[in-house]
Each structure stands twice: as structure tokens, then as C-alpha cells.
Chains A and B, each alone.
Chain A
Amino acid sequence: MVSSRTWLQLGGGVILAALVTAAFLQGRAAEDTWTANDPVGDCGTGALGGEIGRDSGGEVLAAQNVLSATHALEPATSSWDADSEAAVRAFQAWTGLPPDGCVNTNTWVTMRALVVPVCAPEYRCQGPDQLLHWGPARESRDAWFLDADCDWASWVLPGIAQSPVASRTPYEFSREPLTELRCEG
């Protein structure tokens, strides 16, 4: 017969394993944010006839910020438009993806791979700490991001940002409408 002590040990073990798993998943959340992003842009319609791709908000701004560095897209407004779509199609064609205008998981991953930490990996810089630096040496373009505990954020340079986006302000990638980063950075 199984004693109550054994049951207690078993229960404790299960709780411990659950806590470790939760901590691990939470730790992975920030770095997975890019691949967990929603589709953006021309991604077709769902079963109920609604558009699948988002056309405004933090995820749109994140894609526009990347495209501002790679394909000189400007302004970044957090609203998807014809310029954004043409720029992402050009980005997809250049990086070997089908140029379908939909920023899906494969496009997000491709964009993510271009972003490099500015600070040594074991340290956490204050402010924007991830940089996509692209283009010829003499006329390079930058897109800045912030890898925070709760989410990534876009940090758009002056000259690229246009209302309602303010420059030098961290905006969450989150699915909600454009939102300033609220967690600890």
C-alpha cells in the first residue's frame, strides 16, 4: 500500500516539475516573440471571411522598422499600406521567400536573424539593445529594438517615425493596438 508520505513526495515532485517548466517557458517567451508574432499584411482571409493579416499595431510597426533598414521604407506609421507591402515583397524575394506580401512566421524568423545585440550577450544594456544595421557602409540604415523581459519593442529613429508613432519611444510588439512598453526593460 502506498503511504501518504509517498503521495506527498510525488505531489511535491509534480509541482516542482511544473514550476521548472513554467520558468523555462517564460524565459523563452521573450526570445520567441518574433516567431510568435501574428501574421501581418496581405495574408488572405480566414474561414469566416475576415482578413488574417494584421494591418495596424505594434507588430506592423516592428515589420516597418525592419523594412526601414533593409529597403528604406518610410515613414513608419504602424499602419500597413501599399508601400509596406511592396517593401516586404522585395524583402521576401531577396531573402529567398515567396514574395506574397504576408509577414508570416518564416518572414518574421528571417527578419529576426538580421538583428544583432549591441551589448555583450551576458549583460543587459539600458534602452534599445538590439540593432539591425544594413546597407552599404557609406549610407547604412539602422533599425533599433529593445529586448525586454515581457516583450520586444520597436524603437524608431527620428525621420522614420510618423504619427501616431513617436520617435525614440519603445512600442511593444504585442497584439494590442500600438502600446508603449510597460514592463521593465
Chain B
Amino acid sequence: MTMITDYRKATRRNELVLGGAVGLVVVLAVVAVTLLITMGGEPEPPPEGAPDARELTADTCAAGLRQPAWVPEGVMRAQVACPEDISRRVGDSTSPDRLGTWIVYDLHGPANEETVPGAAPGSWPQAEVESGAIHPATTITYVAYPGSEKLSSELGGGTVEVAWMDFPEGGGDARVTRVENNGYGPVRVEWTDDGGSYLLLTVLGRTPDGRSGVGVEDLLRMAGSLAG
């Protein structure tokens, strides 16, 4: 008996298998892309176990403000200045409209504590002055300008380094401005999103107790944790 193979049937079966596989791949790709987009749009939750930094401003006028949900471990407390406070400080000559809201985070540790004596600077011991032993408290200043779409003017100068850097957890990037003074100096991180524009500022200070302030990575992580 002779076996006759129907090549038309075999070809059709192959086409069906191939078509199904391609369809499956397409469906999987669509699902993956959709998941990625959905997850990317959500604010990064604070790391498990870490308190939500927004609790630091819970009872203030900044309670509903978009602000970092994550702050470095060294942060002890925060002080808030809202537009009305800022306006009052300059004698109400500036309308609170369009003013930013400030959150100043205090940092723990001897290098970050204020050591400026009460006596006049002329009487400060020269050795202490020149070693960096006399310094203000180092803080992290966060300023939010709700509704704003722009960053402040870019700083220029021979020792100024400006670069756009990604948030460590993804979800955006920021303009990082460093005044490079032998590994120390001010650091500014500025960025925008749909809710406004924002700024973080600290100083990498030289003190006998070590370096004050926090690194760029921590500032970028704060920036990437914005929520509210």
C-alpha cells in the first residue's frame, strides 16, 4: 500500500503553528510594554521598612505638597517655610503667588552640626578657621515651585560642572550642578515634572570631622522618590 502525503495539509498546519506563535509573541510583547508603561508611571514607593519622609512635614502647610518620600538616613527633622512665611520674611513686599515652598532637612552627625561661635569672627582661632572647623550646619534644602515648568538659570564658571543625570530608581532625570572645589562645594539638583519644578541643595563641606552633606546619588534618589 502506498502512503500518499497531502502536502497542502502539512503546509496549512505549519502555517497555523507559525501564526499562533507569532500571535502569542505579539500578545506577550503588548502585555510587557503595557506593564512597563504602567509601572514606570507610578511613583517609586519608599524602600520597605524605611519610614515615608513625608511624615516629617505631616502637620505643616506642606502636608499635601509633592515632596521626597525618601530621605537619607542622616535626616533628623525638617522645617517648612510656605509662601506666606517667605512673603512675611521680606515684609510682605512679595506676593505669595508663584513663591516656592521650602523644606529644610537637618542632617545628623558632627560634620553637619553648626560650630559657628557666638564671638566675633575676628577672634576665632586661625587654625580652626583654616581647617574648616568653624562651619554652619549642613542641611538639605528642597524647594518646590508648583505649576512651574522651568528650571532656574544655569550657573556658569570655571569650577562649575553641569550634567544631566538619571534618578537611580529610574523614572526621570535632573540637572546636577556641582561647584568643584577640590572634591567639596555646593551641589544643586534641579528637575521638573507634570506638577512643577523642584530644587535640592546641599554642601559637601570640608570639616575636621569628615565630609558634611550628602552625595549626589542620595540627592538624585530623593528627587526620584517625589510623591504627594
User: Do A and B come together as binding partners?
Assistant: yes
Interface of A toward B, CB cutoff 8 Å: 31-32, 35, 70-73, 81-87, 89-90, 93-97, 99, 105-106, 109-110, 112-114, 116-123, 125-129, 131, 133-142, 144, 155, 168
- Please give, as numbers and ranges, the residues of chain A lying within 8 Å of B196 by CB-CB distance: 120
- Please give, as numbers and ranges, the residues of chain A lying within 8 Å of B136 by CB-CB distance: 70-72, 94, 134-135, 141
* Contact status B155-A90, CB under 8 Å: no
* Contact status A136-B139, CB under 8 Å: yes
* Contact status A105-B139, CB under 8 Å: no
* Contact status A94-B94, CB under 8 Å: no
Contact among B77, B130, B150, B204 with A93 in the assembled complex (CB-CB below 8 Å): B130
Given A109-B159, A116-B201, A120-B147, the answer on whether A71 and B121 have CB atoms closer than 8 Å is yes
Distance from B176 Cβ to chain A, minimum over Cβ atoms (Å): 12
Contact among B134, B147, B177 with A113 in the assembled complex (CB-CB below 8 Å): B177
The reply to whether the CB of B78 lies closer than 8 angstroms to some CB of chain A is yes
Interface of B toward A, CB cutoff 8 Å: 77-79, 81, 86, 89-91, 93-95, 98-100, 102, 104-106, 113-114, 116, 120-122, 124, 129-132, 134-137, 139, 141, 143, 145, 147-153, 155-160, 177, 179, 181-186, 188, 196-197, 199, 201, 203-207, 212
A87 to B153, CA, bound (A): 28
A150 to B76, CA, bound (A): 41
Given A70-B136, A72-B116, A137-B104, the answer on whether A86 and B121 have CB atoms closer than 8 Å is yes
Distance from B68 Cβ to chain A, minimum over Cβ atoms (Å): 16
* Contact status B106-A137, CB under 8 Å: yes
* Contact status A83-B155, CB under 8 Å: no
- Please give, as numbers and ranges, the residues of chain A lying within 8 Å of B106 by CB-CB distance: 136-137
- Please give, as numbers and ranges, the residues of chain A lying within 8 Å of B143 by CB-CB distance: 116
- Please give, as numbers and ranges, the residues of chain A lying within 8 Å of B78 by CB-CB distance: 137
- Please give, as numbers and ranges, the residues of chain B lying within 8 Å of A142 by CB-CB distance: 89
Contact among A106, A122, A123, A144 with B159 in the assembled complex (CB-CB below 8 Å): A106
* Contact status A32-B156, CB under 8 Å: yes
* Contact status B114-A113, CB under 8 Å: no
- Please give, as numbers and ranges, the residues of chain A lying within 8 Å of B93 by CB-CB distance: 126-128
* Contact status B135-A94, CB under 8 Å: yes
Given A96-B204, A137-B106, A168-B91, the answer on whether A117 and B184 have CB atoms closer than 8 Å is no
- Please give, as numbers and ranges, the residues of chain B lying within 8 Å of A72 by CB-CB distance: 116, 136
* Contact status A93-B206, CB under 8 Å: yes
Contact among B79, B94, B149, B201 with A126 in the assembled complex (CB-CB below 8 Å): B94
Nearest A residue (CB) for B77: A137
A121 to B201, CA, bound (A): 16
Interface centre among A126, A129, A134 (most CB of B within 10 A): A134
* Contact status B148-A122, CB under 8 Å: yes
* Contact status B184-A95, CB under 8 Å: yes
A71 to B135, CA, bound (A): 7
Contact among B79, B121, B212 with A83 in the assembled complex (CB-CB below 8 Å): B121
* Contact status A114-B203, CB under 8 Å: yes
* Contact status B150-A122, CB under 8 Å: yes
* Contact status B122-A82, CB under 8 Å: yes
- Please give, as numbers and ranges, the residues of chain A lying within 8 Å of B188 by CB-CB distance: 113
Distance from B29 Cβ to chain A, minimum over Cβ atoms (Å): 41
Distance from B1 Cβ to chain A, minimum over Cβ atoms (Å): 88
Nearest A residue (CB) for B149: A122
A7 to B91, CA, bound (A): 59
* Contact status A135-B137, CB under 8 Å: yes
Given A31-B153, A81-B122, A112-B155, the answer on whether A121 and B181 have CB atoms closer than 8 Å is no
Contact among B94, B132, B184, B212 with A118 in the assembled complex (CB-CB below 8 Å): B94
- Please give, as numbers and ranges, the residues of chain A lying within 8 Å of B89 by CB-CB distance: 142
Given contacts A35-B157, A71-B135, A116-B141, could you give 7 more A-B pairs where the C-beta distance is less than 8 Å?
A97-B182, A116-B201, A120-B197, A123-B98, A126-B93, A126-B95, A137-B106
